[in-house]
Amino acid sequence: MARTKTKAQAKATRRPASSKRRALPKARAKPRAKARPKQNFTVSHHRDQDFDSGLRRYAHYRDLGISKATNGMVQAHVIRFVPPCRPEEVSKRHYHDVDFQMVYVLKGWIKTELEGQGAHVMKAGSCWLQPPRIEHKVLDYSDDCEVLEIVLPADFKTVELE
């Protein structure tokens, strides 16, 4: 017949408790997230008079107020291309020194060539992500072409390669 030990007998046969406890592994500190700038509510309603000439002669830009509202974290603008497209003027290879760039076609179409991706025709409803510093150029666009561009950070450099 098997004998069972009482709780008192089991405690007596255990190893003596050590006065030192094993150190628990140190928790790794999570890297602190970069503090984001304060953001404010903003709204921008479409008005034709809000389109200004900007970086290029063949495009007019409508700032959506996002840069000011995000304290320079994000730039958002509508780009309206000026007809007619002149490939000798628009087809200049360049890149943008950005962390993020997304383009969405609102109206018309645009043909662009991106390094390692070839040429693509983007139509109304098309959206693409341009990785940071990817070399690209506009090849052609329709007379009614408008795109929404969102870029981080708001203040960035464009480097012309041609």
Q: How far apart are CA 75 and CA 99, in angstroms?
A: 12
Q: Mean pLDDT over residues 9-29, rounded?
A: 58
By the 8 A CB rule, do 5 and 14 touch? no
What one-character DSSP code corresponds to residue 5? -
Structural domains in the chain? 43-160 (2.60.120.10)
pLDDT tens, position by position, 89-143: 999 999 999 999 999 999 999 999 999 999 999 999 999 999 999 999 999 999 9
pLDDT band (50, 70, 90) for residue 33 = confident
| H/E run at residue 9 | helix 7-13
Place of tokens 């002149």: 86
Count how many Cα atoms sit within 13 Å of the Cα of residue 14 in the half-sphere of its side chain. Answer: 10
pLDDT band (50, 70, 90) for residue 8 = low
| Residue bearing the bigger pLDDT, 104 or 30 | 104
